[in-house]
Structure 1
Amino acid sequence: MTRNGAGPTEGEQLVAVFERWATTRGVENSSVKQYRTLLNRSVEPYFGADGIRCVTPQRVETWVEWMTHTCGYKPSTVRFRFNILMSVFGWAIEQGLVDGNPCRQVALPMSGARTYRDQRAEVHVPDTETVLAVIAAAPERYCGMLWLMAGCGLRLGEAMGLGRDRICFSQKSITVDRQVACDRDTGSGRYGSMRLRHTKWREDGEQGRRVPLPDVVALALRRHLRDHPTWGEADLLFSNATGTGLLYPYYWYGRIWRPALTAVGVDYFKSHSLRHFYAASLLRQGVPVSEVSAWLGHTSVSFTERYYSDLMPDAPDRARLAIDGALGAHGPKSVATDSIGLFGVA
């Protein structure tokens, strides 16, 4: 499957080009970490020392088959890795390293629409009873984090990175512009050290998103601030158990999240599902998807619709009611008298 080296006519090794694409474009360290994981697990084991110029559409097709049948990746995972490789080749063309993109001639075995349907099916939305029970079972010091995820849609790292000055009780809002991430450059080529940084997809100095602060979440935060000190220059609400540093994810999952699920007696699900609960609760109440998308911090409304469109089953009914309300009074004058006859027509 792999060979010993790339000759001069085969160009630079694909693996080396991939590494440069991942590390020289100024992307977030967390993205670099993700790309390197993909490189080590999915690209290098198959392409080895192949030169980028000798990668043909047929070779990409067999790579897709290898990921599907040998690695057992889900269609959504295969599509994501395929799109990354396509981006690498697009960048290589701009750099003059290759003339064409072999990925553009490859058709994936499963359509994008089917992949997105499968992704939506994997979204786990816990019911209200489960959410409240898990919050009640969590250590009191960290209950506020669960309220933030279920009641404001914050990601885990964003809840860890929330400072006192980002909460405005008078305006009933929270500004989300920082997160705790395991992507500090350690100097060894690997990113793993903890740090507080701006949220992903946001430049330094750019204002973060403002999220509505419900009364129930505000009450939980007020109680937390009354009973627990903040930590660090950023006045973080949730530090480690000793109040001396950042809260590590392994501690969160091992000492807080998993024990709470066990105490309630429910099967394991990721704490990110509390964010799904937030989105589902808003959409089912008819909150516009554009607003929900902004409060979740998604890069686009289409991304939100892709994952949560199944949670808006009453959207057609609301659309009909909206148009009837806007146009019904100006419609055909005979609607009232001929309604029985008209509604009998298929």
Structure 2
Amino acid sequence: MSSPEYVPNGSEPVVSVFERWATTRGVENSSVKQYRTILARSVEPFFGSRLITSVNRSDIVEWTAWLREVRAYKPSTTQFRFNILMSMFSWAVEGGLIEDNPCRGVLLPDSRAHVYRSQRAEVHVPDANVVHAVIGAAPERYRGMFWLMAGCGLRLGEAMGVARSRIDFQRRTITVDRQVACDGDTGTGKYGRMRLRHVKWREEDDRGRLVPLPEVVGLALRRQLRDHGTWGPEGLLFANVTGTGLLYPHYWYEKIWKPALTMAEVGYFKSHSLRHFYAASLFAQGVPVTEVSSWLGHSSVSFTERYYSDLLPDAPDRARLAIDGVLGLPDLAAPDGPVRLHGVA
């Protein structure tokens, strides 16, 4: 990871430093595109040609207020952009461009707890009838992708990247270690060609995660392989409509996902909600959050708990059921009235 070179007299604008921070640290091309979008919409319009050495804490406070009041960003969006800018300033401090990070000590009006609540409010969980209707309306060629997201919790890119070699029908597991992404290197930060790569945040030698393969999903994948086979040297289950390349997310949403929703006669929701359906279904059956977090591929159990806390079964009810199941004795049953335990008020 590179560090910024010192610029005499602090003569470099915030925008220029942000651009170098976004493009010279070896991050994924998709991340570069995201950073440039933030730069164009949230940083440059406010800071303009301001030099990085001239920015102080009060400027950051004013900037966050501008994000909320002028840009009308939600608390979670404001928090995310604030974190990005703080990282950029930390990089500048490390490289000697500035002495202190002006973001440090700045407290946003909305607490982190409020941000987490806002994120949870954005989690849409379709019910089982809707999921069945959408899967039934999906094109047969891509129906297996719907099953993988709803029945195994895969992200869209992960479902696109499933290969025959990653499916173990005998052990009933799927290895999730790759995904299809729109981040082929173009040198511009814009979306380039599609490519199959390791799941984001995974090292090249990471073996990925093992996800249980339910029987209903296994049957759908067997049908997929029987009717459509595999594509390419990797043996992928899903290719583009001509069978000559990888799927593009834009094509997926416009030509596959949205038509399926229309045919199923349900309101619009993102395909990522099928992943939320998977998580909610497991929690409803009492599957431990540690297992769910692992199968979803989250970075930590605490993230899963925060994100899905509203979906977790009620802990007191689980405690009552657990103890009643273990300690509930037949001779305490009282067909003729309540039992009064001696010494207990």
Q: TM-score, normalised by structure 1?
A: 0.90
Gaps of 5+ in 1: 1-6, 330-335
- Displacement after TM superposition at 1:20 (Å): 2.2
Q: Does 1:338 align with 2:341?
A: yes
Taking the aligned partners of 1:64 and 1:289, their CA distance within structure 2 comes to: 34
Instruction: Name 2:77's counterpart in structure 1.
Output: 77
Match of 1:99 in 2: 99
- Alignment: residue pair count: 330
Alignment root-mean-square deviation, CA: 2.0
**C-alpha separation between the residues in 1 aligned to 2:343 and 2:95?**
69
**1:179, 1:199 within 8 Å by CA — same for their partners in 2?**
yes
The CA deviation at 1:263 is: 1.1
Instruction: Name the aligned partner's letter for residue 69 of structure 1.
Output: E
Q: Take 1:276 and 1:64, find their aligned partners in 2: how far apart are those partners?
A: 30
Closer/same/farther in 2, CA of residues 328 and 125 from structure 1, 3 Å limit: same
Q: Distance in 2 between matches of 1:220 and 1:135?
A: 11
Residue 130 of structure 2 corresponds to 130
| Corresponding residue number in structure 2 for 1:268 | 268
Measure, in 1, the Cα distance between the counterparts of 2:316 and 2:17: 48
Match of 2:63 in 1: 63
Q: Who is 1:172 aligned against? A: 172
Q: For residue 281 of structure 1, what is the aligned residue in structure 2?
A: 281
After superposition, the Cα gap between the structure-2 partners of 1:266 and 1:340, relative to the gap in structure 1 and judged at 3 Å, is farther
Distance (Å, rounded) in 2 between the aligned partners of 1:270 and 1:234: 28
CA distance in 2, matches of 1:339, 1:133: 57
- In the aligned structure 1, how far is the partner of 2:284 from the partner of 2:156? 23
Partner of 1:333: none
1:4 alignment counterpart = none
What amino acid maps onto 1:151 in structure 2? G
Aligned residue type for 2:167: I
Equivalent position of 2:163 in the other structure: 163
Query: Are the equivalent residues in 1 in contact too, given 2:10–2:97 (CA < 8 A)?
Result: no
Matched, 1:38 2:38: yes
Of 50-59 and 159-168, the range deviating more from structure 2: 50-59
Q: 2 CA distance for matches of 1:271 and 1:14?
A: 37
Cα drift, residue 208 of structure 1: 0.7
SS in 1 for 2:100: coil
Q: Is the 8 A contact 1:11 1:97 kept in 2?
A: no
The one-character-per-residue Cα deviations of 1:196-238 (angstroms, maximum 9, x if unpaired) are 1111010112111110000000000000000002111111100
Tell me what 1:315 maps to: 315
Offset, 1:13: 1.8
**1:202–1:208: 8 Å Cα contact kept in structure 2?**
yes
In structure 2, distance between residues paired with 1:272 and 1:289: 19
Deviation of the 1:328 alpha carbon: 9.3
The answer on whether the counterparts of 2:174 and 2:212 sit within 8 Å (CA) in structure 1 is yes
Structure 1 residue 23 displacement after superposition:
2.3
* Contact 1:158/1:180 (<8 A) preserved: yes
What SS class does the counterpart of residue 341 from structure 2 fall into?
Answer: helix
Whole-angstrom distance in 2 between the partners of 1:31 and 1:152: 26
Residue segments in structure 2 that go unaligned for 5+ positions in a row: 1-6, 330-338
How far residue 111 of structure 1 moved from its aligned partner, in angstroms, is 0.8
- Quick one: distance in 2 between partners of 1:319 and 1:24? 52
Distance in 1 (alpha carbons) for counterparts of 2:283 and 2:167: 24
Question: Secondary structure, in 3 states, of the residue corresponding to 2:299?
Answer: coil
Letter of the 2:341 partner, please give it. Answer: D
Single out whichever of 213-222 and 311-320 deviates more from structure 2: 311-320
User: What CA distance in whole angstroms lies between the structure 1 residues aligned with 2:87 and 2:323?
Assistant: 43
Native 8 Å contact 2:33 2:189 kept in 1: no
How far 1:9 sits from its partner (Å)? 3.9
The one-character-per-residue Cα deviations of 1:62-108 (angstroms, maximum 9, x if unpaired) are 11111111111111100000011111112222212211111112111
SS at match of 1:102: coil
The answer to whether the aligner puts 1:296 opposite 2:296 as a matched pair is yes
Per the TM alignment, residue 324 of structure 1 is displaced from its structure 2 partner at its CA by 7.0
* Structure 1 residues 172 and 44: CA distance shift in structure 2, 3 A: same
- In structure 1, the residue matched to 2:140 is 140
Match of 2:308, SS? Answer: helix
Once the two structures are superposed, residues 288-341 of structure 1 have per-residue CA deviations (whole angstroms, 9 ceiling, x without a partner) of 111111111111111111111111132222234546778999xxxxxx853895
Q: In structure 2, how many angstroms separate the alpha carbons of the residues matched to 1:300 and 1:44?
A: 34
Aligned equivalent of 2:247 = 247
Cα deviation 1:128-179 (Å, max 9, x = unaligned): 0000000000111111000000000000011011111000001100001111
